[in-house]
Amino acid sequence: MKYIVIKFGGSNLKCKEDFYRIIKVLKIYDRPVIVVVSALYGITDRLNDALMRIQKSRKEIKGIIEFLKETHLSIINQYIDKTGEQKELCKRIEARVEELEKKFMGIYYFGDVPDFVHDWVLSFGERLSSLLLCSLLNVFGIDAAEALPEDIGLITDGIFKNASIDFEASIHSVQKTLSENKTYIIPGFYGISKEGKITLLGRGGSDYSAAAIARCVQAESLDIWKDVPGFSSVDPKILPNAISIKKLTYSEAAELSYFGAKILHPQTVEPLLHYSIPLRIFNIKTFSGELQPVTYIADTKVITPSIIKSVTYSDDFSILGLNGPGVGIKPGIMAQVTTILNQNNINIKSIITTQTRIKLLLSRFDIDKGYQLAKSLHLATLDEIKTEDDISLIAVVGEGILNQPGIAARTFQAVFTQGINVRLISAGASDVAIYFIVSKNDKIQAVKAIHEEFFSKS
Site string for Mg ion, 4-43 (x = CB under 5 A): -----x----------------------------------
Q: Which one of the spans 136-144, 200-208, 334-342, 393-401 is the region binding Mg ion (CB under 5 A)?
A: 200-208
Distance between CA 10 and CA 187 in Å, rounded?
12
Cα torsion for 430, 436, 441, 442, to the nearest 10°? -110
Closest by CA to 398, choosing from 301, 271, 270, 297, is: 301
Q: Backbone dihedral region of 276: left (phi > 0), alpha (psi from -120 to 50 degrees) or beta? A: left
Of Mg ion, ligand ASP, none, which one does residue 189 interact with (CB within 5 to 8 Å by kind)? ligand ASP
Comparison of 204 and 271: residue with beta carbon closer to Mg ion: 204
| 132 in contact with ligand ASP (CB under 6 A) | no
Min. distance of Cβ 265 from Mg ion in angstroms? Answer: 7
Select the residue whose beta carbon is closest to Mg ion and give its number. 9
Q: Backbone dihedral region of 196: left (phi > 0), alpha (psi from -120 to 50 degrees) or beta? A: left
Check: CB of residue 76 under 8 Å from CB of residue 90: yes
Q: Which one of the spans 38-46, 214-222, 326-334, 379-387 is the region binding ligand ASP (CB under 6 A)?
A: 38-46
Comparison of 38 and 249: residue with beta carbon closer to ligand ASP: 38
- Find the binder of ligand ASP among 12, 44, 164, 295 (CB under 6 A): 44
Of Mg ion, ligand ASP, none, which one does residue 149 interact with (CB within 5 to 8 Å by kind)? none
Q: Which one of the spans 2-10, 89-97, 347-355, 363-371 is the region binding Mg ion (CB under 5 A)?
A: 2-10
Comparison of 36 and 437: residue with beta carbon closer to ligand ASP: 36
Min. distance of Cβ 142 from Mg ion in angstroms? Answer: 23
CB atoms within 10 A of CB 305: 6
Comparison of 127 and 410: residue with beta carbon closer to ligand ASP: 127
Largest CA distance in the chain: 77
Site for ligand ASP in 109-128 (CB under 6 A): 125
Distance between CA 227 and CA 285 in Å, rounded?
5
Q: Say if residue 81 is exposed, middle or buried (CB neighbours under 10 Å; 0-12, 13-18, 19+).
A: exposed
Comparison of 225 and 435: residue with beta carbon closer to ligand ASP: 225
Comparison of 9 and 321: residue with beta carbon closer to Mg ion: 9
Q: Output the CA torsion sign for 144, 145, 150, 153.
A: negative
| 188 in contact with ligand ASP (CB under 6 A) | yes
Min. distance of Cβ 364 from ligand ASP in angstroms? Answer: 18
Min. distance of Cβ 118 from ligand ASP in angstroms? Answer: 13
Distance between CA 417 and CA 448 in Å, rounded?
12
Of Mg ion, ligand ASP, none, which one does residue 188 interact with (CB within 5 to 8 Å by kind)? ligand ASP
Comparison of 47 and 320: residue with beta carbon closer to Mg ion: 47
Site for Mg ion in 149-188 (CB under 5 A): none
Task: Provide the strand spans (E) within 167-268.
Answer: 183-187, 190-192, 198-200, 221-226, 247-249
Comparison of 249 and 268: residue with beta carbon closer to ligand ASP: 268
Select the residue whose beta carbon is closest to ligand ASP and give its number. 206
Check: CB of residue 12 under 8 Å from CB of residue 284: yes
Check: CB of residue 90 under 8 Å from CB of residue 80: no
- Find the binder of ligand ASP among 38, 135, 232, 318 (CB under 6 A): 38
Strands laid side by side in the 391-397 sheet: 310-314, 391-397, 433-439, 422-427
Check: CB of residue 131 under 8 Å from CB of residue 146: yes
Angle at alpha carbon of residue 369, lines to 368 and 373, rounded to 5°: 120
| 189 in contact with ligand ASP (CB under 6 A) | yes
Let me know how many helices (H) and strands (E) the chain has, helices first: 15, 18
| 204 in contact with Mg ion (CB under 5 A) | yes
Site for ligand ASP in 192-251 (CB under 6 A): 203-206
Coil, helix or strand for 452? helix
For ligand ASP, how many residues bind (rule: CB under 6 A)? 12
**Residues that bind ligand ASP in the complex, under the rule CB under 6 A:** 9-10, 38-39, 44, 125, 188-189, 203-206
